[in-house]
Structure 1
Amino acid sequence: MIEKVNSPANIQAMLQTLKQYETEAKSGLNPENVGKSEISQPSFLDAVKSAVGSVNDAAQAAGIRKTAYEKGEDIPLTDVVLSMQRSSVAFEATLQIRNKMLRAYEEVLRMPV
């Protein structure tokens, strides 16, 4: 939330915060701080698992809507078709990313050492 800057106390607090950010940014450039990150970054494996999981979730949601529509539940056909298309696009995008990664890996293998 952005606070209103209408008093000298707010301005001083904001300046103090900016100075603190500047100090933190400068300390990040020191050689002894290299490799020490306080922010945990997800690994490549975690990112891939998350992406595949979201594609799987989309496919399952599309299947559930399709089955519910076939059973006669009150679900509009447009919702069913839209969820099926979302699932299809997500799967195709994942497939294309996989293909590009495989080509890049094969290219790296062909590089002379």
Structure 2
Amino acid sequence: MRTGGIDSSQIQAMIAQLKAHATRPQAAPPVVQTEPTVAKVNFADALKNSLDAVNASQVKASTMGKQFSSGDDSVSLSDVMVSMQKASINFQATVQVRNKLVTAYHEIMNMQV
């Protein structure tokens, strides 16, 4: 039987698909955490890790400079200069953080209790 351009068998097939979809078990809704879990970071470990990274960048720059000056063709001048600039910026940032820490320490020590 044909109704309005759509065959009744197509309608029945569509209804069957809708019923099959409706009877499928629904997935559980995602669990929403009300409090975000934040990993605790030890300040001493974070400071040590950052100082180790600065030291590693300086050692790498120094090694690349020595390789370039000894005539190693695998190291280009631009790579040496970029590495040295990165090491310099890392060191300057570390010095600024140290200065801020020293200033904060002095402010805390001068507080009236």
Please, which runs of 5 or more residues in structure 2 have no aligned partner? 1-20
Q: Distance in 2 between matches of 1:108 and 1:55?
A: 28
Aligned residues: 89
- Indicate the RMSD between aligned Cα atoms, in angstroms: 2.3
CA-to-partner distance for each residue in 1:58-77, whole Å, 9 max, x for gaps? 00110110011011111110
Q: Which residue of 1 aligns with 2:83?
A: 83
- Structure 1: segments with no counterpart, 5+ residues: 1-6, 30-36
Write out aligned runs for 1:42-61 (5 A).
42-61=41-60
Q: Pairwise mapping of residues 1-113 of structure 1 onto structure 2 (< 5 A)?
A: 12-13=26-27, 16-17=29-30, 20=31, 22=32, 24-25=33-34, 28=35, 40-74=39-73, 75-113=75-113
TM-score, normalised via structure 1 length: 0.70
* Identity across the alignment (%): 34
Q: Following superposition, which runs of at least 4 residues in structure 1 exceed 6 angstroms of deviation?
A: none
- Higher Rg of the two aligned structures: 2
Q: Distance in 2 between matches of 1:49 and 1:42?
A: 12
